[in-house]
Amino acid sequence: MTSVPPPSLVIGASGLVGREILRRLQGAGSSVVGTCWSHPASDLARLDLTDHGAVRELLERVAPETVFCPAAQPNVDFVERNPRVGWEVNVAGLRCLCEILSGRSRGRLVYFSSDYVFDGRSGPYGEDAAICPISEYGRQKVAGERLIQELLPSRSMIVRTTVVYGWEKNRKNFAVRLIDELRAGKRVRVPVDQTGTPTFCPNLADAVLELASLGFTGLINVVGPDLMDRFTFAKAVASAFALDPSGIEGVTTSQLGQPAARPLRGGLKIELARSILQETHMLPVREALGRMRESEGQGA
């Protein structure tokens, strides 16, 4: 007799990471419910993460074995200018979810964090590196991590990732915006001094689902293996999509005048993930961009 996969819940399934996880769970025949809030979709349940009663009702109805929570206010500059608005989702909403889960006999949480928990002076960072956020977004991510470690220490996985890219309906991530602007003949200013580890979203989803299936608990970095600055990454995107790289102008972060401070020497190390993952290989940028180009137009 074929066993039925346990039900899952994806909170924030209208975004890049959530949609990818939802798609894979559905493809595997899992019973899964996805939620949305700021970007409604007909196949997703509306959920205000800060509504304690609504969160409790949904958890009782779905009874998920695993709750994936990529839901967040991820706009770093918006959060810097509007810290209370960011806090409501990134911390208060997460606390609501954790408190309800901690009072239940089952259900584990998979939470997504960032290399913005670091100051960017000595990246790339391992899981045991000392945190030191320099932006409000980074401070809220630290608060989220600590909430989970306090309330769900043995029933959670905290996934730190960064520079996530791939096709998405809302076309908000760095690579997609760059492609759109270059195709429109616009010039794009890109920082030459912000270093990170670009991560292809489908690859991230595969790795996270494998780690969840293996029952991993704790903190883990899941990113691509290449350490590069945004300007170099932008050139790689242009090359992969046969776009004119002359439209990309390299500038310093200070020239961009961004409200929130960036961890300049950021990025994450993945030795731990490599030692655990058995089926998923984290893709280098060139290979990942090739797959991204091949999949263009197949839906987001």
pLDDT reported for residue 297? 83
61-108 pLDDT, tens digit per residue, is 999 999 999 999 999 999 999 999 999 999 999 999 999 999 998 899
Helix (H) or strand (E) holding 236: helix 230-240
Taking the C-alpha atoms of residue 145 and residue 69, their distance in angstroms, rounded to an integer, is 12
Spell out the domains of the chain, with CATH numbers in brackets: 8-294 (3.40.50.720)
> pLDDT tens digits for 153-177?
999 999 999 999 999 988 889 999 9
Active-site amino acid positions: 137
Which DSSP string corresponds to 175-220?
A: HHHHHHHHHTT--EEEESS-EE--EEHHHHHHHHHHHHHTT--EEE
| 286's tokens | 């060139």
